[in-house]
Structure 1
Amino acid sequence: MAGRKNLTARFVETVKVDVRTDYWDDVVRGLVLRVSPTGVKSWTVVYHRESDGAKRRVTIGKFPAIDLAKARAKALGAVTAVSDGEDPAGKKRARRDSMTVRELGALYVEKYAKRNKRTWAEDERLLKVEVYPEIGDMKALAVKRRDILDIIESKADAGFLAQSTQILAVVRKAFNWAVENDYLESSPVIGVKPRAKPTRRERVLSDDEIRTLWKALSEVPILSDTVSIFRLLLLTGQRSGEVCGIVRSEIDLEKAIWTIPGVRTKNGLTHVVPLSDEALAIVAAALETVDEEGNASLFSRIGNSIEPNAVAQAARLKLQLLGMPWTPHDLRRTVATGMAGIGVMPHIVEATLNHISGFRAGVAGVYNRAAYEPEKRRALDMWAEHIIAIVKSKSSKIVDIAGARR
């Protein structure tokens, strides 16, 4: 079925069909909205090839990723190319047929992951380290399910079950993105299941492990900025990406606070972190070495902020000295557990870590957030004292914050 129509944004958004239907735009000749019964809406351009007059169709995107205005602009570009003797459909097919997994992965990272995922660097690392060495030079359309299974089963058989699951998740997302954006007709990952069920990490460093790690940071061959990041992770309990991305404008030395803007926090809320004397000393020392601009990164390498995946790599390659494996995120869990152990109330721990659940969830949590700033400072000061006492092999005094406030 087909129909010619002066397409509107409202029509495109609401149209539904029982059988696949093409709606031809009256404004841009050749632009077609193809609607399927499943609700998928694709933009195509139909044209006649200059060389032989053959009728051709090329897909230029899907709704809602491409709205009506963008579709018309892309269609005009395609029609102009045809008048210049080009064959957009043939060009796209040739590019798709020749694209390797490595090239497809780079497109996924650049066009999707960097724009939508805070952890895009980890996606890129997994592709480069685990996927490209095995199938990177294969044509993307030639990859079979068995190729994917070989990668994840090999990792699982080596005992790295969680990493096997992570690799599968990234590969699945990359190939699904390729299908959604018409780089591939289908994904080889369809039907592939994880080799192991995801497990919630419960790793918490003991006092002895904290002491060992803190002292090792002064001895292992890693960047001094990376050392500072690890120590701030342990002193503040904030996320690795938040610590790595600190810039000058977020620090107020006089008030001893670090304000993380909502665009950099996981929950989108601005978060104020009181700095203990130990944390403040680390931050102040870093400020002495960076430019005066407000967006100057405190911890950088070759002009760019150190990435969380670089910190994770340093932990994996240089700091596995504790008997059991650990990751930078385990330090956050260690802080949360340790604060509770020295008497910090659960809702103060959540406020300190900017973690909204339980007591702080919902409207009540939003209205109570500002009221906890003094308690957060006291909690972080106590925690820093506890850390220093551990490092110096002293026992720290356990204090009930709720009792101290009365």
Structure 2
Amino acid sequence: MPSIQLTDAAVKRLKTPAEGRVEYWDTRTPGFGLRISSTGVRSWVMILRILKDGRWVQQRLTFGKYPGVTLAEARAKAIEAKGQAERGEDPGAESRAEKRAMIERTRHTFAAVRGEFLTKYRGRGNRRPAKRTLAEIKRVLESDLFTDWSDTPLSKITRRDVLDVLDVLLARGSEVMANRTLAYLSMLFGWALHREIIESDPTESIKKPGVEQSRERVLTLDEMRAIWQATEPTETRKGDLFDSIVKVLMLTGQRREEVGAMRWSEVDLASAMWTLPAERTKNHREHLIPLSTPVVEILKARQAEQAAMGMATEFVFTSFGPRPFAGWSKSKRALDARADIASWTLHDLRRTLATRMAEDLRTLPHVIEATINHVSGVRSGVAGIYNRALYLDERRAALDAWAGYVLQVVGVVETDNVVRLAR
């Protein structure tokens, strides 16, 4: 371990060893030196004795790499460290604290916390979001809007940063997406705040930036007729899976994902009952759906088609077998072209059933809510906790009446065989 007087000129002349490393100790500042490795890395080092746990021990410190840290800067740090040691202080404590802080900053970047959030987040009832919801959150938070945030510590992201992202979406005319983005960011920052990753939430008190109107679309009778007729096979077009799904959606009022992923194990055609397990419902409650005759006929037709094709599958609506129907967007566009009505969504079928059951068939509100498994209004709050009645007979009567109503509206039956329920 050679000793020399370290000067700027001397440091520049020192050779890189062929292998291993060599340390040159400064004759001017005892314990201070330069370590040179065979890789060419040059680091300022210091060896001194400190008082720890009642005894003197030797400690090695580093003060950065040359030439990033100059000789004068490294020597000044070495002299300061020696003074701290002589006063009984730990000269490496501040350096270790800085390193820990730096590690924490890099560990809690936006990208790192986002990944942890998507893996661990739990929402209402301490439940993981539905797969479709989680996929949408992931799509938004991993969009190009946040590319510049990736390596930024989450604690360094400000309210202004959030507003800038929202302004970009508003400039694009994506007002609904701006609202969704703010909601998902609030979920992320709220989760991080709860985990003590950050000390404040930059999304707090930011109001919804975009104009958003809740959907109130209820299909007219003409629109219901146009949609149904657009699902019927013609001389030039055979019926498909989507046609059957749309009819079941219109006749049952259930959710798109529930119908699209219907399993044969959930259906009892003999008793005309569909049992949705809790893990497949939005409110995580088992849901029983009485099946009207037209729905049973659709399901029996699917059963026969699968048997004819030799398809062994758990799914009612599938063309591939191992997976349920997935071509929603393409099939919906094709249906829209045939139906030729104003913009509508599959969820409008559910809203239309609930509205027209109430207005046209005089079905009681609690029966409608039980039918579509919607816990709100008359079934929410204290009433919802204590009222666990299934109303199965009433629901079956309501869905049978609704099926008759739909078939009359769409022109499948000509006589008025609609059952109007007493209020």
TM-score bucket of the superposed structures, by smaller chain: 0.5 to 0.7
Query: In the TM superposition, what are the counterparts of 1:87-126 in structure 2 within 5 Å?
Result: 93-97=105-109, 100=111, 104-112=113-121, 116-125=127-136
Q: Provide closer, same or farther for how the CA distance between residues 400 and 110 of structure 1 changes in structure 2, counting only shifts above 3 A.
A: same
Code of the aligned partner of 2:117: Y
- What is the aligned counterpart of 1:338 among 349, 356, 370? 356
Q: Provide closer, same or farther for how the CA distance between residues 267 and 53 of structure 1 changes in structure 2, counting only shifts above 3 A.
A: farther
Looking at structure 2, the residues matched to 335 and 138 of structure 1 have their Cα atoms a distance apart, in angstroms, of 45
Q: Provide closer, same or farther for how the CA distance between residues 181 and 363 of structure 1 changes in structure 2, counting only shifts above 3 A.
A: closer
Deviations 1:257-288 (A, max 9, x none): 10122333344432211111222233334455
Confirm or deny: 8 A CA contact 2:369 2:379 kept in the other structure. Answer: yes
Q: Provide closer, same or farther for how the CA distance between residues 354 and 320 of structure 1 changes in structure 2, counting only shifts above 3 A.
A: same
Q: Which residue of 2 aligns with 1:369?
A: 389
Looking at structure 2, the residues matched to 396 and 186 of structure 1 have their Cα atoms a distance apart, in angstroms, of 63
Shift of 1:179: 4.0
Q: Which residue of 1 aligns with 2:206?
A: 192
Confirm or deny: 8 A CA contact 2:242 2:331 kept in the other structure. Answer: no
Looking at structure 2, the residues matched to 194 and 365 of structure 1 have their Cα atoms a distance apart, in angstroms, of 32
Partner SS for 2:120: helix
Q: Which residue of 1 aligns with 2:189?
A: 175
TM-score (norm 2): 0.59
Q: Which residue of 2 aligns with 1:284?
A: 300
**Structure 2, unpaired ranges of 5+:** 1-58, 63-98
Q: Which residue of 1 aligns with 2:143?
A: 132
Q: Which residue of 2 aligns with 1:251?
A: 267
Q: Which residue of 1 aligns with 2:420?
A: 400
- What is the aligned counterpart of 1:354 among 373, 376, 379? 373
Q: Provide closer, same or farther for how the CA distance between residues 269 and 109 of structure 1 changes in structure 2, counting only shifts above 3 A.
A: same
Looking at structure 1, the residues matched to 114 and 246 of structure 2 have their Cα atoms a distance apart, in angstroms, of 30
**Structure 1, unpaired ranges of 5+:** 1-50, 55-86
- What is the aligned counterpart of 2:281 among 247, 265, 270? 265
Identity %: 31
Q: Does 1:231 align with 2:251?
A: no
Confirm or deny: 8 A CA contact 1:250 1:260 kept in the other structure. Answer: yes
Query: In the TM superposition, what are the counterparts of 1:65-80 in structure 2 within 5 Å?
Result: none
Confirm or deny: 8 A CA contact 1:339 1:349 kept in the other structure. Answer: yes
Code of the aligned partner of 1:109: L
Partner SS for 1:376: helix
Shift of 1:191: 3.8
Q: Which residue of 2 aligns with 1:59?
A: none
Q: Tell me the matched-pair count.
A: 312
Q: Does 1:205 align with 2:219?
A: yes
Q: Provide closer, same or farther for how the CA distance between residues 159 and 92 of structure 1 changes in structure 2, counting only shifts above 3 A.
A: closer
Q: Does 1:329 align with 2:380?
A: no
Code of the aligned partner of 2:108: R
Query: 87-96 or 331-340: which moved more?
Result: 87-96
Q: Which residue of 1 aligns with 2:291?
A: 275
Looking at structure 2, the residues matched to 105 and 303 of structure 1 have their Cα atoms a distance apart, in angstroms, of 32
Shift of 1:204: 0.8
Looking at structure 2, the residues matched to 284 and 209 of structure 1 have their Cα atoms a distance apart, in angstroms, of 27
Confirm or deny: 8 A CA contact 1:131 1:151 kept in the other structure. Answer: no
Confirm or deny: 8 A CA contact 2:401 2:420 kept in the other structure. Answer: no
Query: 139-148 or 358-367: which moved more?
Result: 358-367
Looking at structure 1, the residues matched to 341 and 278 of structure 2 have their Cα atoms a distance apart, in angstroms, of 37
Q: Provide closer, same or farther for how the CA distance between residues 225 and 111 of structure 1 changes in structure 2, counting only shifts above 3 A.
A: farther
Q: Provide closer, same or farther for how the CA distance between residues 158 and 287 of structure 1 changes in structure 2, counting only shifts above 3 A.
A: farther
Looking at structure 2, the residues matched to 346 and 196 of structure 1 have their Cα atoms a distance apart, in angstroms, of 33
